[in-house]
């Protein structure tokens, strides 16, 4: 639904010129690259891949995904990868959860089955999920280290390890020479961010409330302000903290605000087909809302799992008074970028890469993890001072750079691909992955540097 010119308009001329040079080199070498995904939709990676492939294909760059290269779903495997990989590596799983031998074999069998459908011999860059490297170091026999050690047997066969731009997320065993940093990105032109006309906003408001009715939860009163957290129903997202901060806020407000000015709280997000935690966390959230402690405000809290419609998230974020992101564990959260780009101030915890996204006290507030009292105080400050909210919103709009959107993300992937293949005829690939540094010897990749820094140096890129 978009054209090449539409993407060109999202960046400056120098950026687009460098991007075109990369595309021309890729096409001249007659390369073809495939991305593998666990799911075709749901979750930030799938969203980024859709936007990345759309942009590259519009520019004649041959890349593939989501047709042959999506893993065949298997619920018992997703239970392992979510609860015993993802949650354990993030340090948000119950300490009693361990990866056992049966789990390992189920995962290996599923991986072998899927690999036989795709490429069995080739290897490529692996993008790792957030890892509590401190838990691996401090508890070498604990569940985090146990899970990591199992996965490391496979990960170390990759040539390049692509990580969030938070260096303490990277376990010590991964050679710094083989690590590059790449932030998550969002897309200016997809349903999450494209401008919505008043008619479209009204339409999606009605759709949103129909979903609420279907779930049997409260509907949003669109004539009143609301606070929003857009996130999966996941143990790392701090949803109990969101609820508690809102409860404290309402106690602080007392009778200061008229009913029409009293804010609601909206917690929502898409589900993912590989996320067994979603229903559990959603039900826990509803139980908290219906508890006696929240009885005086329960009618003003809307928590709902949304269908895969980007426009619903766009609408709910765009209309918010303020956005929260109270994750306890986070990589580089694109929902923060999307809120700032829409002019919505963000109050967030100092978790993972979020402090790299928010300019403290300029376009949002950063607070220590668990400081729900502080979150409530900052919320009250914004509601008492609409001018401050407006100032922060404007700072958010002007402070989000090209780096966090699709074109720069595509340029980073292209740079890695071009560097890894520039000597492919004279230096054949050798087996060994991270144990064999030869493939990186004649590249600028690695050294735990951001990929964008590398291509900016190579192309003498000066634009900030």
Assign 3-class secondary structure to 224-245.
Answer: CCEEEEECCCCCCCCHHHHHHH
Q: What is the DSSP letter of 279?
A: H
Residue 302 pLDDT: 97
Buried/exposed code over 2-11 (b: 16+ C-beta within 10 A; e: otherwise): eeeeebbebb
**117, two tokens:** 């459908």
Quote the pTM value.
0.84
The residues pairing with 45 across neighbouring beta strands, listed in sequence order, are none
Q: Which domains does the chain have, with CATH numbers?
A: 4-186+405-458 (3.40.50.2000), 198-400 (3.40.50.2000)
Burial tier of 327 (Cβ tally within 10 Å: 0-12, 13-18, 19+): buried
Rounded Cα–Cα distance for residues 356 and 147 (Å): 28
Residue 91 pLDDT: 65
Report helix, strand or coil for 153: helix
Angstrom CA distances, 71 to 23, 40, 41, 88, 124, stand at: 28, 9, 12, 22, 16
Angstrom CA distances, 198 to 34, 54, 201, 204, stand at: 39, 27, 5, 10
DSSP codes joined into one string, 354-371:
HHHHS-BTTTEEEE-TT-
Angstrom CA distances, 216 to 212, 213, 286, 434, stand at: 6, 5, 11, 51
CB-based contact 141:95 (threshold 8 Å)? no
Candidates 164, 191, 185; CA nearest to 404 is 185
Tens-place pLDDT, residues 20-63? 999 999 999 999 888 877 666 666 777 788 889 999 999 999 88
Angstrom CA distances, 456 to 162, 412, 420, stand at: 18, 10, 17
pLDDT tens for the chain, residues 1 to 464: 789 999 999 999 999 999 999 999 999 999 988 887 766 666 677 778 888 999 999 999 988 765 456 667 677 777 777 777 777 676 666 777 787 888 888 888 877 877 776 555 544 444 444 554 554 455 466 777 888 888 888 888 888 889 888 877 788 888 889 999 999 899 999 889 999 999 999 999 999 999 999 999 999 999 999 999 998 888 889 999 999 999 999 999 987 777 888 999 999 987 665 566 678 889 999 999 999 999 999 999 999 999 888 899 999 999 999 999 999 988 778 899 999 999 999 999 998 889 989 999 999 999 999 999 999 999 999 999 999 999 999 999 988 899 999 999 999 999 999 999 887 544 444 554 544 556 788 889 989 999 999 999 999 998 75
- HSE, CB side, 13 Å, CA atoms: give it for residue 351: 24
């Amino acid at each position: 639904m978009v054209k090449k010119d539409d993407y060109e308009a999202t960046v400056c001329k120098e950026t687009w010129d460098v991007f075109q040079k990369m595309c021309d080199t890729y096409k001249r070498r007659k390369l073809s690259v495939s991305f593998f995904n666990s799911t075709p939709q749901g979750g930030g990676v799938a969203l980024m891949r859709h936007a990345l492939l759309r942009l590259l294909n519009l520019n004649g760059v041959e890349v593939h995904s989501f047709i042959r290269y999506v893993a065949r779903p298997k619920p018992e495997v997703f239970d392992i990868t979510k609860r015993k990989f993802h949650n354990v590596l993030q340090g948000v799983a119950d300490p009693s959860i361990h990866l056992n031998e049966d789990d390992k074999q189920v995962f290996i069998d599923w991986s072998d089955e899927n690999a036989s459908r795709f490429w069995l011999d080739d290897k490529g860059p692996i993008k790792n999920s957030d890892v509590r490297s401190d838990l691996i170091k401090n508890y070498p026999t604990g569940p985090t280290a146990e899970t990591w050690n199992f996965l490391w047997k496979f990960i170390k066969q990759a040539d390049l390890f692509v990580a969030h731009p938070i260096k303490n997320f990277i376990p010590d065993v991964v050679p710094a020479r083989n690590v590059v940093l790449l932030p998550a990105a969002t897309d200016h032109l997809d349903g999450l961010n494209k401008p919505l006309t008043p008619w479209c906003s009204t339409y999606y408001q009605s759709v949103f409330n129909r979903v609420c009715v279907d779930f049997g939860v409260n509907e949003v009163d669109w004539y009143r302000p609301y606070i929003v957290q857009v996130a999966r129903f996941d143990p790392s997202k701090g949803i109990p903290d969101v609820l508690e901060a809102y409860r404290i806020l309402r106690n602080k407000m007392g009778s200061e605000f008229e009913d029409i000015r009293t804010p609601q709280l909206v917690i929502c997000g898409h589900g993912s087909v590989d996320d067994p935690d979603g229903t559990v966390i959603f039900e826990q959230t509803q139980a908290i809302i219906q508890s006696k402690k929240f009885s005086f405000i329960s009618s003003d809290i809307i928590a709902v799992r949304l269908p895969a419609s980007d426009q619903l998230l766009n609408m709910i974020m765009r209309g918010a008074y303020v956005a929260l992101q109270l994750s306890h564990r986070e990589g580089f959260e694109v929902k923060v970028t999307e809120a700032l780009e829409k002019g919505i101030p963000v109050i967030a915890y100092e978790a993972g890469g979020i402090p790299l996204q928010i300019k403290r006290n300029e376009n949002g507030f950063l607070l220590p993890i668990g400081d729900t009292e502080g979150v409530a105080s900052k919320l009250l400050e914004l509601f008492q001072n609409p001018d401050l909210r407006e100032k922060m919103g404007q700072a958010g709009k002007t402070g989000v750079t090209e780096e966090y959107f699709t074109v720069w993300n595509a340029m980073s992937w292209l740079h890695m691909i071009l560097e890894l293949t520039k000597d492919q005829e004279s230096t054949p690939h050798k087996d060994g992955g991270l144990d064999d540094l030869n493939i990186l010897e004649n590249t600028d990749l690695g050294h735990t540097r951001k990929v964008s820094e590398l291509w900016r140096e190579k192309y003498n890129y000066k634009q900030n």
